[in-house]
Structure 1
Amino acid sequence: MTVQQDVGTQPRERARMPIAELRDSDSPRLGGVDEEHARRIAEQPDPLPPILVCRSTMAVLDGRHRLRAAELRGEDTVEIELFHGDPDAGFLLAVRRNALSTVDRKAAAMRLVSTYPEWSDRRIAAAAGLSPKTIAAARATAPVPRQSSRMGLDGRVRPLDRVTGRMRAAELLASAPGSSLREVAAAAGISIGTAKDVRERVRLGQDPVGPRRREDEPNAPQGFTDSLELLNNLRRDPSLRCSEVGRGVLRLLGAHFLDRREWDRFAEAVPRHCAKGMAQIARQCAEAWSDFADKVERRATRERR
């Protein structure tokens, strides 16, 4: 079961709820509500998207700025989307749904490490929008019990000490050669695939541990994964998705956001006689995006001043 399946695919019901019946959440956003940001949302002519609320606590998980914007508009009720899950799962979903600063995400990661110590660094990193190295550093300072195994992004539980598990499997295969792979895996605390590899190594007279492998490798480069999470955060930001121009920019970003392997596949498909023209246009597009990035950063710098 993936992180997304943990909290992101549950069916949710919508309702109209009095603002007075909602309570502030245990938000991952440390700075609270930005009044200027809420005012800009309130000035948008479009209806406000539903606010995500935890059903068990009636706490706002995602949409505190929209809630404040509704108050600034003088509205007494808001449309909500109910999340049927426990508060810890609600906080996890809030981390995924909110556009957070790096400081906010690191603080949230500390809580996630304490709440889900059995999760791997990569699994928590995917949820918090940080790198696995950052999660490993947070785990080193968090007061959590030591785990003998951790659950990866794919939902599989793997032992932290791969040597012990493999050696135990080799002993079981030697003492009870008729045991099934499932029995060996369960007894040694390893995956069935690892048990199969150990059995083959024992059969060939090789070291059952073998060379170190990255058994929890993600399906995509970490840089791409981090950028994808950042893009998803931008897509959830009301100040972008509630304006026509913001939605247009997000559509353009999404259309150009591809895994490096996809770009390689496209490059291989370009005929040689089209290569020069294609490269020229691609570089012009790259320059346009670079210029756009510079303008966005300069504007943000001016507003901070």
Structure 2
Amino acid sequence: MTPPGECSGVHLVPVDSLVDADSPRLGGMSPEHVEVLAQGAIEPILVHRETRRVVDGMHRLQAARLRGEKVIPVRYLDGPASEVFIHSVAANVAHGLPLTLKDRKAAARRILASHPDLSDRAVARITRLSPKTVGAVRRASSEELPQSQARVGADGRSRPLDAAERRKAARAFLAEHPGATLREIAASAGVSVSTACEIRQRMRRGGQDAAPPRPSAARRARENPRESTRDGTRESTRDGVRDGGRAAGAGAPPGPRQAECGRPQRIETLAKDPSLRFTESGRALLRWLNERAPDLEAGRQLMAAVPPHCAVAVADLANSYAQEWQRFASSLDRAAAETAER
């Protein structure tokens, strides 16, 4: 499955029909790099279908011009023109001639100007800067940049900047209307249904929404690296419960059916992540995860076909696959904890 936006087919397009990229490279193209590319086969470039503007591949396009080529292989990108520069930055930091630190800081400032609702972490993933650096860029340009009342995080979810005030309004509404539904509470204060559910549960337990919002997995990893893997798993469980709008014991692992129901939502959330959507390796990961999803259902359907005398062998194979997945997940947990420590 091809991630949203990018067309997987390759088309031969007239060189003269293409518009030069709005490149994030402050110093322009490298003639030396163009000459190197002109010596070999030219890989497909990425072009925004609607505007015909090059998104990624200006050096390859110039190499084709240098060789006198009339056409060039192209992959099309669909989507709003306002996101073309973001795609261009993400593609250029992922491969090819690297962007300089100055290029990436300038790109971060442009992205913040056009998409002020993106969080520092989301912009950091696009530009391969640290969230701290993006935050410094935002503060340095705060008088010139447009303001936003919410931030879209690296997970694709929008969060209001005045979250504390909204939670306070939700508590006040619930105190006056104890029989209100979760949707009524959420609408009254501008919070999500899951947040309304969490506030109501806390008020029922202690008479008020006394507990502060639970720190993120990355923050817990920084404060206690040895607990990062277990806490990270708990955070995923809590998120899964909130998404479903049901209460569960804190820290309890999700059951098989709950985990299964949460998979499409998690894959959808990953598909919205800029660092995955806008990079070739990220899109490959999304395709791989989508291809794995039907395997479990197919396995359940084939279970009835396993003869009793083969059940042990098949179970051993299933366990070995599960162990490989567990090692894969543990490696990712360790990598997340190490990143949080830096």
Q: TM-score, normalised by structure 2?
A: 0.59
Which residue in 2 is equivalent to 1:87? 81
Structure 2 unmatched runs, 5+: 94-98, 223-274, 283-326, 335-342
* Aligned pair partner of 1:41 in 21, 37, 40: 37
Q: In the TM superposition, what are the counterparts of 1:105-254 in structure 2 within 5 Å?
A: 105-140=104-139, 141-142=141-142, 143-205=144-206, 207-214=208-215
Which residue in 2 is equivalent to 1:255? none
- Give per-residue Cα distances to partners, 1:103-146, cap 9 Å, x unaligned: 11111111111111112222222222222112212222142333
For residues 174 and 235 of structure 1, the distance between their equivalents in structure 2, rounded to whole angstroms, comes to 49
- DSSP 3-state at the match of 2:109: helix
- Give per-residue Cα distances to partners, 1:243-296, cap 9 Å, x unaligned: xxxxxxxxxxxxxxx98941888xxxxxxxxxxxxxxxxxxxxxxxxxxxxxxx
Q: Runs ≥4 in structure 1, deviation > 6 angstroms? A: 232-236
Q: Is the CA contact 1:23–1:58 (under 8 Å) kept in the aligned structure 2?
A: yes
Shift in Å, 1:169: 0.9
For residues 162 and 209 of structure 1, the distance between their equivalents in structure 2, rounded to whole angstroms, comes to 15
* Aligned pair partner of 2:55 in 53, 61, 69: 61
CA shift in 2, pair 1:187/1:138, >3 Å: farther
CA shift in 2, pair 1:186/1:144, >3 Å: farther
* Aligned pair partner of 1:21 in 17, 21, 25: 17
CA shift in 2, pair 1:132/1:263, >3 Å: closer
One-letter amino acid matched to 2:204: R
Which residue in 2 is equivalent to 1:254? none
Shift in Å, 1:65: 0.9
Shift in Å, 1:9: 2.6
- Which moves more between the two structures, 76-85 or 89-98? 76-85
Shift in Å, 1:209: 5.0
Shift in Å, 1:235: 7.0
For residues 168 and 175 of structure 2, the distance between their equivalents in structure 1, rounded to whole angstroms, comes to 11
Shift in Å, 1:57: 2.0
CA shift in 2, pair 1:22/1:145, >3 Å: closer
CA shift in 2, pair 1:17/1:52, >3 Å: same
Which residue in 2 is equivalent to 1:77? 71
Q: TM-score, normalised by structure 1?
A: 0.65
For residues 137 and 173 of structure 1, the distance between their equivalents in structure 2, rounded to whole angstroms, comes to 38
One-letter amino acid matched to 1:78: I
- DSSP 3-state at the match of 1:94: helix
Q: Is the CA contact 1:158–1:191 (under 8 Å) kept in the aligned structure 2?
A: no
Shift in Å, 1:162: 2.6
Which residue in 1 is equivalent to 2:294? none
- DSSP 3-state at the match of 1:61: strand
One-letter amino acid matched to 1:165: R
Shift in Å, 1:217: 5.4
RMSD: 3.2
For residues 68 and 171 of structure 1, the distance between their equivalents in structure 2, rounded to whole angstroms, comes to 62
2:28 matches 1:32 = yes
Shift in Å, 1:216: 8.8
For residues 264 and 131 of structure 1, the distance between their equivalents in structure 2, rounded to whole angstroms, comes to 19
For residues 263 and 175 of structure 1, the distance between their equivalents in structure 2, rounded to whole angstroms, comes to 45
For residues 57 and 77 of structure 1, the distance between their equivalents in structure 2, rounded to whole angstroms, comes to 18
Which residue in 1 is equivalent to 2:331? 262
Q: Is the CA contact 1:19–1:76 (under 8 Å) kept in the aligned structure 2?
A: yes
- Which moves more between the two structures, 186-195 or 163-172? 186-195
- Which moves more between the two structures, 194-203 or 105-114? 194-203
2:78 matches 1:9 = no
Count residues in correspondence. 227
Which residue in 2 is equivalent to 1:290? none
One-letter amino acid matched to 2:5: Q
Shift in Å, 1:76: 1.7
